[in-house]
Amino acid sequence: MNLKMGSQTFQNVNVPLLWGKRAVLEDSKSRVSIISLEREKAKVEVLGNEPAQGIDYELIGNGFKIIIDGVELYSFDPVNKIITGLELKLPECQISSTSIRVGSNVFSGNTVVGAGVGIIVDENGIGMGAPLPEGLAKLVI
Amino acid sequence: MKVIFDTNKLYANSLIKDRLPIHLAEFLVICMERGHEIILPLTTLLEFNNKQLEFANKERKKLEDTKKNLSIYQIKFEDFDSKELVKPPDLVQLINKIGVTCEVVEPLKEDFDIAHKKACLKISPLPPEKKSNEMRDLVIWEISLRVAKEHKGAILMSEDVVHTHHRGDIEADKNGLIRCKSFERALEAFTIETESAKKIKSILDKVWDRILESDLPIRKGGKIVSILRPIFQNTNFGVVVVNCDISFITGDGKTLLSKLLLNYYNEEAIEIKFYENIIEGESLDDTSIKIKDQFVFNLDLDDRESSLRELLK
């Protein structure tokens, strides 16, 4: 996949931003989609800034909480494009026109070529240009 | 939201010293955490202070009696002033100490005038069987209506029959006043303030007449009092489905508990179903209200979907 997102250039990467076991993508109209890769098949949870069809959610002041199997996993603020972990204990992630912020780390103007994952975020830390972790669903819908 | 207290919800059966009763303090902590503010009608504060002064005087008398007894038996002790030792509490200070904002609201002449008229004419909210014309309750009622109107909604914490009788339903509803007899009920009423609840309520408000016309036992003056556990789900064609628990006061002094299944599109209800309805412990049949046909098409959904597919090519 080739994609420009948050001022980063991702060339020939499988997943530009992997937040836990969720791929985060931004389309040409700057709308964010979040796709869960934690089960056998990829499942879209947020489609172009809005909850995807068939996904449980609850409205909150600045967006919505995604609820999977009755558990409030994370919230998404479509105006500021902020993903915040609730039950998922992951650093907050924000995609702006000039950067991708993960927790207090800001990525700006980087290029990642030929990697499984462009930016990887998990409970242990953050990395750039990592191989695709095992056991994830293929990013196809 | 403003939370107004009648004296009976501040009741303590002894002198309050440096802290409020635990059930009240816990409720105030929740109010503080959720940004609600406390209103004490001056009427409430005066009555509370008077009751606490009675308790303080009893404590003082015990100390004075002890002093006398010690003197009779010529037992030496350091002299003390019981009035200085035992002081009634400063309620506003105790509430503020918890971290919640507290304001004392004095009755206006208008409040007195309306209360006076209602007392003389024995009109709503006074229940017909009430023997004494409680001016005090009516003044708190008028202050509560005024505060609710000014702030587009408020909660009145009271167990008093004047404040809770269904004869006050229409007036309370008109001004956005929610009456709560218990702290548990108030916590439920706070749910009406969440984004999800506001959305559901605004959609139901638009078709409120249809709900009143339905088989549900809600009449004029009835209103939604709580919306719990809301779950939204987007479907194809842009229709949103919501499930939640909902409760109403029915306009004739009863509470109706239901589960709600609401389909809406563009903030307009398409179909509403109330099921597992319970009123006064009795189950009622499900009620479905079809508002309009739901065949609509959401081009935006197509656009978002094709943009994502384009990325994943």
Model confidence pLDDT, tens digit, residues A43-91? 999 999 999 999 999 999 889 999 999 999 999 999 999 999 999 999 9
Residues of B in contact with A65 (CB under 8 A): none
Asked if B312 has any chain A CB less than 8 Å from its own CB, the reply is yes
pLDDT band at A141 (very low <50, low <70, confident <90, very high): confident
Residues of B in contact with A51 (CB under 8 A): 232-234
pLDDT the model gives residue B162: 84
What residues does each domain of chain B span?
2-188, 194-290
Q: Please give the Cα distance from B154 to A130 (Å, whole number).
A: 54
Q: For the domain B2-188, what is the CATH superfamily, name and number?
A: 5'-nuclease (3.40.50.1010)
Ranges under pLDDT 70 in chain B: 128-133, 294-299
Distances (CA, A) of B206 to B196, B210, B214, B237, B264: 16, 9, 15, 22, 12
Q: Please give the Cα distance from B162 to B11 (Å, whole number).
A: 17
pLDDT the model gives residue A82: 97
pLDDT the model gives residue B131: 60
Residues of A in contact with B309 (CB under 8 A): 141
ipTM of the complex: 0.90
Nearest neighbour of A61 by CB, restricted to B195, B231, B311? B195
Pick among B233, B235, B243 to test the A interface (most A CBs inside 10 A)? B233
Asked if A25's CB is within 8 angstroms of B304's CB, the reply is no
Nearest-neighbour CA in chain A from B119: distance (Å): 43
Asked if A47's CB is within 8 angstroms of B304's CB, the reply is yes
pLDDT the model gives residue A90: 95
Nearest-neighbour CA in chain A from B53: distance (Å): 45
Asked if A139's CB is within 8 angstroms of B236's CB, the reply is no
Structure tokens at B98: 């918890």
What is the pTM for the complete model shown? Answer: 0.77
Asked if B232's CB is within 8 angstroms of A59's CB, the reply is yes
Asked if B265 has any chain A CB less than 8 Å from its own CB, the reply is no
| Closest chain B residue to A62, measured at CA | B195
Asked if A53's CB is within 8 angstroms of B304's CB, the reply is no
pLDDT the model gives residue A65: 97
What residues does each domain of chain A span?
3-130
